[in-house]
Amino acid sequence: MPDEINTPEQQQTPQAPVVIKQGNGLGTIVAALIVAAAAIYAINVWSTTRKETAPGRNLEKGIERIKDAASKAAAERQ
């Protein structure tokens, strides 16, 4: 009977080594393209918004509208 008792050395089984597989880099390339596209889109939106809300442009548009309205009113009076 004592021969059947396993000692701690006998119970341990060897573990397989941990292997980390490296990909071919395709995922990294796709991620880089997504980040680049997002940056380009953000810059595009920012520059478009900036152009539309620039105070100088708004003032110019407002002045042109006032000039047009004034000239129409003057033309109607004549």
Residue 4 is given by DSSP the state: G
Tokens 């395709």 correspond to what residue?
26
| Cβ-based neighbours of 57, under 8 Å, separated by 6 or more | 51
Q: How far is CA 57 from the centre of its chain?
A: 29
Tens digit of pLDDT for each residue in 48-68? Answer: 876 666 667 778 888 888 988
Whole-number Å distance between alpha carbons of 25 and 31: 10
pTM of the predicted protein model? 0.40
Q: Are 27 and 21 in contact (CB under 8 A)?
A: no
Tens digit of pLDDT for each residue in 3-51? Answer: 556 555 556 677 888 887 777 788 888 889 999 999 999 999 888 876 6
Q: Please state, in angstroms and as integers, the Cα–Cα distance from residue 60 to each residue in 20, 27, 46, 51, following that order.
A: 62, 49, 21, 13
